Amino acid sequence: MNLLDIVLTIASVTARALLGRRRTILMLLFAGTPVLLGLLVRIGGTRSGALVPSLEGVIVSSVLPLVALVFGTAALGSELDDGTAVHILTKPIPRWAIVLPKLAVAGGLTAMLLVPATIITGVLVGGGGGRELGLTFAFAIAVLVGSFVYSAIFVALSAATSRGLVIGLGYSLLWEGLLSGALKGTQLFSVREYIRGMATSLAPSGALVSVVGAYGFVLAAVAIVVVAALAAWRLARYEIRAAE
Amino acid sequence: MSEPRARDAAPLILSVDVDPGRPIVLDRVSRWYGNVVAVNDISFALGAGITGLLGPNGAGKSTLLHLLAGLLRPSSGRVLISGRPAWHEPSIYREIGLVPEREAVHSFLTGRQFVDLAARLQRLPDPAAATERAIATVDLAAVADRAVGTYSKGMRQRVKIAAALVHEPGILLLDEPFNGMDPRQRLHMMDLLRSMAAAGRTILFSSHILEEVERLADGILVIYAGRLAAAGDYREIRRLMTDRPHTFRVRSSDDRRLASAFLTEPAVFGAELRDDRLAVQVSEFSGFTRIVARVARDAGVRLFEVAPTDDSLESVFEYLVTRR
């Protein structure tokens, strides 16, 4: 078995564990919320002015971090909590080979739900015009990359603490939701801004404004690598919770 | 757990040979959580054979096994597996098989998939063949294609053992391995562990049941309140456990007359009447149980109740630690 087989084996078990019935239904409901809102806007009459608020305000700011939070913390944190991770941790494999598939599966599932949700919502709200479609697909690609950045952060958080879900929720609401939008300079450390930057660089010119612009791709890639490395470092020093 | 007097007492160590060349070495290992000491200055080395880690619940057995399995960092001291530090060293898992007690198994995997996962993650050249061998070893072939979620506790225990054995490790660490097994499975597992030990493997299993340890282990480590209370041959430790002073509670047709009769016996060193009952202090558990009926008969007293007041395993362990 080479390391690629190991990564694929862990990815397959992680995917089966994450696709439990209750969690899948809940995540489908989350992902369906912006689509439902889009449908309501559509019924009320297509308005291109509502496109950016629907995609950025609802999907990028709220639904994406929440879905990534659930998948990201469940991929590793739940297994560390219930002890199933012990069967993987007590194997002679480098810790990055555990983190990587967890991150990939959590990010992949988040993207699988939210990229289609972004496209459907965009088409419902913005219609089929060239500029609107361009904007919609720009956000879809940015959400695709953003899914992996957020998932990496939440996988790393659950490697670092048993309260990954609560801390991750606080991070999403306070840092990404409030502070990074309000304070200048913090945007360089905001996933939401990276997503906006990526979308801006892909969208028709003048449709969006961003501080980081196309550097959003670079910053997102750096964030994934750095956070995944931190997660692997932390997992290598993971201590089982007090048993007695 | 109450703070035992044992904390400052010298442990009774029958023999602890800390030979660094042995497969398992603990050298003055302590582990604490904040102000709570879970494992307190323990040293021992183990070689081929079966060793039982005996102690009451909460004594620190699981902490000790997790330290050996590299899942906890020692707060002080060294834990070595085949000469390498256990902590932060994934390569030790080629030589260790761990059977955790509490840790769950993904319920959606079948038994075969779970063992196969372990074989693949061990990077074995032929994981399928190793999986079949391990499943046959624990006698689980008939249900290997059922989801683990449908298994009984004993079957789950066996599938965890199969996963731990799949790479044929030189060291096997088992945390309460017989929990949930029926008597037939227990005997089968004991035979399996004996044959593995005979093949030169080092096996350490924890238990809070003296009889399990007695039936299986070549040597035992007794742990109580995080301290190594005793280590060595189980027969010697068993003798210390049974021959310790005891207090018996006795009810009879004439407690006063029976107390006088008991006090003439060499095995009895005290008797007092408390709350309509007779409390008899004896120097030796088994010696008293042999004489009690005869003494009562000779004194013409009918016995209604004879019960040891401090026969919990915990009091046995506490006695071992406090004995100097």
CA distance linking residue B69 with residue B97, whole number of Å: 9
Judge if B24 and B103 occupy the same domain: yes
Q: How many CB atoms lie within 10 A of CB B248?
A: 23
Check residue B8 and give its pLDDT: 37
| Chain centroid offset of residue B214 CA | 10
pLDDT, tens only, B156-169:
989 999 999 999 99
Residues of B at the A interface (Cβ-Cβ below 8 Å)?
Answer: 33, 38, 57-63, 66, 69-73, 88, 90-94, 96, 98, 100, 102-106, 108-109, 114, 117-118, 120-124, 127, 163
Check residue B121 and give its pLDDT: 96
What CATH number did the domain enclosing B15 receive?
3.40.50.300
pLDDT, tens only, B56-101:
888 899 999 999 999 999 999 999 999 999 999 999 999 999 999 8
Q: Which of residues 90-119 of A touch B (CB under 8 A)?
A: 90-95
pLDDT, tens only, B33-52:
888 899 999 999 998 999 99
Judge if B269 and B232 occupy the same domain: no
Judge if B296 and B229 occupy the same domain: no
Domain membership flag for residue A37: yes
Residue type, A40: L
What CATH number did the domain enclosing B272 receive?
3.30.70.100
For residue A237, the chain B residues in CB contact (below 8 A) are 73, 88
Judge if B255 and B237 occupy the same domain: no
Domain membership flag for residue A55: yes
Q: Which residues of B38-62 are buried (b: 16+ CB within 10 A; e: fewer)?
A: bbbebbbbbebbbbbbbbbebbbbb
Nearby residues of A139 by Cβ (< 8 Å), 6 or more positions away = A55, A56, A59, A60, A118, A122, A195, A199, A203
Task: Name the CA radius of gyration of chain A, rounded.
Answer: 18
Domain membership flag for residue A172: yes
Residue type, A107: G
Containing structural domain, residue B145: 5-241
Domain count, chain B: 2
DSSP state, residue B308: E
pLDDT, tens only, A50-87:
888 889 989 999 999 999 999 999 999 999 998 899 99
For residue B58, the chain A residues in CB contact (below 8 A) are 244
- Check if A9 contacts B (Cβ < 8 Å): yes
Check residue B17 and give its pLDDT: 62
Judge if B146 and B157 occupy the same domain: yes
The one-digit pLDDT tens for each residue of chain A (244 residues) are 688 999 999 999 999 999 987 888 999 999 999 999 999 988 887 666 888 888 998 999 999 999 999 999 999 999 999 889 999 999 999 999 999 999 999 999 999 999 999 999 999 998 888 888 999 999 999 999 999 999 999 999 999 998 988 999 998 888 887 777 677 777 788 899 999 999 999 999 888 888 888 999 999 999 999 999 999 999 999 998 754 4
- Check if A241 contacts B (Cβ < 8 Å): no
Length of chain A: 244
Q: How far is A214 from chain B (nearest CA, A)?
A: 40
Judge if B225 and B315 occupy the same domain: no
For residue A5, the chain B residues in CB contact (below 8 A) are 120
Domain membership flag for residue A242: no
For residue B104, the chain A residues in CB contact (below 8 A) are 82-84
Here the ipTM equals 0.89
pLDDT, tens only, B275-318:
778 888 888 777 888 889 999 999 999 998 888 775 555 666 66
Containing structural domain, residue A151: 3-236
Q: Which chain B residue has its CA at the smallest distance from A91's CA?
A: B93
User: Stretch B217-222: mean pLDDT, rounded?
Assistant: 88
CB contact under 8 A, B121 and A10: yes
Q: Which residue has the tokens 């619940």?
A: B57
Both tokens assigned to B59:
């004594």
Is residue B2 over pLDDT 80? no
CB contact under 8 A, B73 and A242: no
Judge if B64 and B175 occupy the same domain: yes
Nearby residues of B50 by Cβ (< 8 Å), 6 or more positions away = B193, B194, B197, B203, B204, B205, B216, B217, B218, B219
Check residue B11 and give its pLDDT: 42
- Check if A8 contacts B (Cβ < 8 Å): no
Q: Tell me if B114 sits within 8 A of B127, measured CB to CB.
A: no
For residue B66, the chain A residues in CB contact (below 8 A) are 240, 243
Q: A7, A240, A241: which to substitute to probe chain B, counting the most B Cβ within 10 Å?
A: A240
Check residue B3 and give its pLDDT: 36
Check residue A22 and give its pLDDT: 87
Q: Which of B206, B241, B276 is the last residue of a domain?
A: B241
Judge if B217 and B266 occupy the same domain: no
- Check if A81 contacts B (Cβ < 8 Å): no
Cβ pairs A/B, distance under 8 A: 91
Q: A14, A79, A81, A87: which to substitute to probe chain B, counting the most B Cβ within 10 Å?
A: A87
Domain membership flag for residue A19: yes
Q: Which of B241, B263, B293 is the last residue of a domain?
A: B241
Both tokens assigned to A193:
């801004």
Q: Which of B213, B241, B269 is the last residue of a domain?
A: B241
Q: B121, B123, B171, B172: which to substitute to probe chain A, counting the most A Cβ within 10 Å?
A: B121
Judge if B248 and B195 occupy the same domain: no
Residue type, B196: M
CA distance linking residue B79 with residue B81, whole number of Å: 7
Nearby residues of A190 by Cβ (< 8 Å), 6 or more positions away = A175, A176, A180, A181
Judge if B144 and B281 occupy the same domain: no
Q: B79, B103, B105: which to substitute to probe chain A, counting the most A Cβ within 10 Å?
A: B103
Judge if B60 and B193 occupy the same domain: yes
Which residue of A90, A237, A244 is in closest CB contact with B58?
A244
CA distance linking residue B241 with residue B319, whole number of Å: 8
Domain count, chain A: 1
CA distance linking residue B7 with residue B14, whole number of Å: 18
Judge if B84 and B204 occupy the same domain: yes
**Among B266, B269, B263, B295, which Cα is nearest to B281's?**
B269
CA distance linking residue B317 with residue B54, whole number of Å: 9
- Check if A45 contacts B (Cβ < 8 Å): no
pLDDT, tens only, B90-114:
999 999 999 998 768 899 999 999 9
Check residue B7 and give its pLDDT: 34
Is residue B324 over pLDDT 50? no
**Across chain B, which distance is largest between two alpha carbons, in Å?**
77
